[in-house]
Amino acid sequence: GPKVLQIPSHQIIDMGQMVTLNCDPVSNHLYFYWYKQILGQQMEFLVNFYNGKVMEKSKLFKDQFSVERPDGSYFTLKIQPTALEDSAVYFCASSLVRASAETLYFGSGTRLTVL
């Protein structure tokens, strides 16, 4: 089936550094999402993105977070600067449209550890 690829699968960085998480969505999909999952907890919505713009974001999407997809390349989540509480698994997802029952396809996640 359709695949969303996330690079890298693991990332370890020092607090205060910048990190960029990369997502290669399904090729013809138009809507992109980031979700955050702290160990042992549920996935929580961070942001969705369409046509070069953030459409919705949650309170977890702090000012230090930003997303972009320059020229159809990777959909990225940048955190600058990182904090200890940013340690989590970040899942990227994509969908073709935003119809009422459109399937979200998730990547395998990037495990971010902030030391």
Where along the sequence are the contacts to another protein (CB under 8 A)?
A: 4, 31, 33, 35, 41-45, 48, 50, 55-56, 58, 91, 95, 98, 100-109
The distance of closest approach from Cβ of residue 102 to another protein in the complex, given in angstroms and rounded to an integer, is 6
Of the pair 84, 101, the CB lying nearest another protein is at 101
The distance of closest approach from Cβ of residue 18 to another protein in the complex, given in angstroms and rounded to an integer, is 25
Kindly report the number of other CB atoms within 10 A of residue 87's CB atom. 17
Cα separation, 32 vs 26, whole angstroms: 10
The separation between CA 47 and the C-alpha centre of its own chain, rounded to angstroms, equals: 8
Of the pair 61, 82, the CB lying nearest another protein is at 61
Strands in the chain per DSSP E: 5-7, 10-13, 19-24, 31-37, 43-50, 53-57, 65-68, 75-79, 88-95, 105-106, 110-114
Of the pair 7, 104, the CB lying nearest another protein is at 104
Of the pair 45, 78, the CB lying nearest another protein is at 45
The distance of closest approach from Cβ of residue 87 to another protein in the complex, given in angstroms and rounded to an integer, is 18
The distance of closest approach from Cβ of residue 16 to another protein in the complex, given in angstroms and rounded to an integer, is 29
3-state helix, strand, coil in the chain (%, to 5): 5, 50, 45
